[in-house]
A = this chain, B = another copy of it.
């Protein structure tokens, strides 16, 4: 286990180094590192790709030689008005000389030319977001050298024309369509259809026309000097760090704190040099199931892009055993070597050039939740990692996948699939077919379930993929863009389903004679790759085996309590099943909405006197008492935090005219009276209105009734021989006097009930901290309250001054990187600061104060880590987030321990 891997915070450390250097504290003039000089721990400086290439070089693996221009150079590039400073240019030239010496080849040489790739590589993976240039070094002289060297004229000229096209597109920004047009014209002139039908002479003609195109577009000649090509390409890659696509990607993926990308310059190797060549990708274990068996795909006589792009359908890696047994065995050894070194499952890219294996990249492999859990458990069994380390290998958020439903096996057996593709990412999904990412996003926003159907996906589809329930593509393999991204999202995906005949323009797909239109319903089984027409029932997941093991280890290492938000005995049971230790938030308002009691609730609201209100409340009391008794029974002796009525009263009144008429009839009042009440209760900003304890202070009889229901139910359970520890939570307290007002009512009722029943009840009274003022005056409140529970939903709304219901503009904010989804993951800088103030002030006044969180953030891993580090006693989250929280809490412990070392 390396420091960097265990500690994502290593990032900040590296940043510090960088800024120390800037400040002149560390004298360092080195910006370019040979692969022989680096190691995997230098990710911040060399980028992920560069650091891993260096690591593998030092492990003695067959890596094409090269060097990395560091992320600090990227910073200098931007400091220097988007140009690489002289001193770094010189360093690059020196490293290039070294590379020429090491390879015995020479850039631009007409005998034995060195060709290089120029690729981006930041500390965090941003696939496809930045620029890449291949075959660099080709010019009118070296193309001859390449021809001689390879004995293949056509290959050399094809490489040359590809290089000009890529350089023109990527480095200069010439529209790629212009190049394609040239290509098409030549094919037309020659009367052929496929690129492969073109001969050397045709390719030479294309090169000439490409150069003409280049001159026309740029008013400059295509640079014949390979060093100029290189320097322009390096600038282009650094420049691509801040293209709008990359910025948007970083903002959307919360990639923060990076200083730039590194640039890797590496000797080209070719997988497209004949039947003894090829290229492929391999996982050291199965990324879908976690099985300990090399998994991957390859193509003979092809370049790397061909595998990823999904144009040709690749072969399984097992087949390599037969076709190239030595290569397969070498790969197997490398697999073992890498896992031993990285202590994690790896995803590697390789190329075979004329029978020689090269590794071009390795990185921690993306995997399904199922695979992650199995790999983590297996690696502990294998003695490869310790339990604590294994826990860090599983992304808590991914566990969500395991908790969700699968297709009903029985129903599936009665149905025929209409097509079968690659099971690219497990799970099941059903929804309406859409062919367009924007439409997917729009419809999902309106609450519809959609299946995104595409020939293939590209980074531009990310948003639509996020929004869709499932993704279905007709092209590409298990490592295609769609597959990789969907697995990362834990989203059901079927890729390479070649039976589909998709017409994206006409919004229709033809499948083996069937026509599926936009809006028709499909069901996907991501575990098998099967596609079904219409809906299929879904069933609950299985939580035993490796999942249970990871959960058990999590509980072994975590200190933070994991509670759940549950309002019904059913939810409570589900959460206990998922490992919850109690209820951190039991909302009482849903009980008010139930058919059987809403009438009494409305009667209460329409009452003009306290007596009338009490009469209505008396009708609700026995029902509410039964609610609590049910939950108490479900939870046995586990603590239960019950929040008193929170929403504004107008939420309980009917809105439609018809409903108002009916209610009036039922209650024997005039519809006009109800309308007047609705108008009286209207609020401009209900979020900041008459609700929570404010309501209960206006109508203390509501708190009386609810307290009575709680304590009478508790007394009943105790008299049945059970035990129960209700914790009564007063909502929306911003001022200790509000709390005192409510506490007195609750205590008085508790006293009365205990006396009447002759039963002692062990209870606590505390409050939500969800109003900024509550946090700011936590010292005063903590003198009276026994516990705090941060209601971070409202606290975020009020602290940021942003209503969740009106936060359409936040999408723009996301893209601009202003806020990072503050309603999903705690805004630690702002809301977190307020929480720290409240915790400090609260604990100073009351050492025994119990502190938790019950906003939706309570199920978010990074928030959980924050909560643990700030000394909270527990987090409370929805039942489905409980396993996520258990693992995230354990990781928080392990990370803290590691940081402390």
Contact = CB atoms under 8 A, between A and B. Distances in A.
A191 to B, nearest CB: 46
A697 B805 contact: no
A575 to B, nearest CB: 29
Interface in A772-828: 772-773, 776-777, 780, 794, 797-803, 805-806, 808-809, 812-813, 816-819, 827
A686 B772 contact: no
A683 B741 CA distance: 33
Interface string A410-428: 0000000000000000000
A683 B734 contact: no
Contacts of A698: 809, 812
B800 A734 contact: yes
A660 interface: no
Interface stretch (A63-71, A829-837, A877-885): A829-837
A734 B809 contact: no
Contacts of A694: 809, 813
A771 interface: yes
A200 interface: no
B830 A801 contact: no
A583 B838 CA distance: 37
Tell which of A685, A690, A735, A817 has the most Cβ of chain B within 10 Å.
Answer: A685
B798 A794 contact: no
Tell which of A772, A801, A830, A834 has the most Cβ of chain B within 10 Å.
Answer: A801
Contact of A806 (B683, B735, B772): B683
Nearest to A831: B773
B688 A802 contact: yes
B776 A806 contact: no
Interface string A715-743: 00000000000000000101101100100
Contact of A697 (B689, B732, B813, B831): B813
Interface in A33-56: none
Contacts of A735: 818-819, 830
Interface string A240-278: 000000000000000000000000000000000000000
Nearest to A689: B806
Tell which of A687, A797, A806, A834 has the most Cβ of chain B within 10 Å.
Answer: A806
A777 B834 CA distance: 10
Contacts of A799: 734, 771-773, 776, 798
Contacts of A772: 772, 798-801, 830, 834
A35 to B, nearest CB: 38
Interface in A176-193: none
Interface in A681-714: 683-690, 694, 697-698
Given A697-B809, A738-B818, A816-B737, A834 B800 contact: no
A745 B818 CA distance: 16
Tell which of A688, A689, A827 has the most Cβ of chain B within 10 Å.
Answer: A688
Given A738-B818, A801-B798, A812-B698, A806 B773 contact: no
Interface in A624-675: none
A54 to B, nearest CB: 35
Contacts of A697: 809, 812-813, 816, 818
A801 B801 CA distance: 9
Given A685-B803, A690-B809, A805-B684, A816 B741 contact: yes
A735 B827 CA distance: 11
Contacts of A818: 697, 735, 737-738, 741
A80 to B, nearest CB: 21
A114 to B, nearest CB: 44
Contact of A688 (B683, B777, B806): B806
Nearest to A776: B833
Contact of A686 (B737, B741, B806): B806
A837 B775 CA distance: 13
Given A803-B688, A818-B735, A829 B798 contact: no
Interface string A434-454: 000000000000000000000
A779 to B, nearest CB: 10
A687 B688 CA distance: 9
Contact of A773 (B683, B684, B794, B801): B801
Nearest to A794: B801
Nearest to A833: B776
A812 B773 CA distance: 19
Nearest to A802: B688
Interface in A334-377: none
A566 to B, nearest CB: 25
Interface string A537-577: 00000000000000000000000000000000000000000
Contact of A685 (B686, B737, B771, B777): B686
Given A737-B816, A833-B777, A803 B689 contact: yes
Tell which of A690, A777, A818 has the most Cβ of chain B within 10 Å.
Answer: A818
Contacts of A800: 734, 771-773
B801 A771 contact: yes
A801 B834 contact: no
A734 B686 CA distance: 21
A529 to B, nearest CB: 23
A614 to B, nearest CB: 18
A723 B770 CA distance: 48
Nearest to A683: B806
25 contacts: A684-B686, A684-B687, A684-B805, A685-B686, A685-B688, A686-B806, A687-B688, A687-B801, A688-B798, A688-B801, A697-B809, A697-B812, A697-B816, A734-B799, A734-B802, A738-B818, A771-B801, A772-B772, A772-B834, A773-B799, A773-B827, A773-B831, A776-B799, A798-B799, A837-B837
3 nearest interchain CB pairs?
Answer: A688-B803, A685-B803, A773-B830
Given A687-B803, A773-B831, 19 more contacts: A684-B803, A685-B803, A687-B687, A687-B688, A688-B798, A688-B806, A690-B808, A697-B809, A735-B830, A741-B818, A770-B801, A771-B801, A772-B798, A773-B799, A773-B830, A776-B799, A776-B830, A776-B834, A798-B799
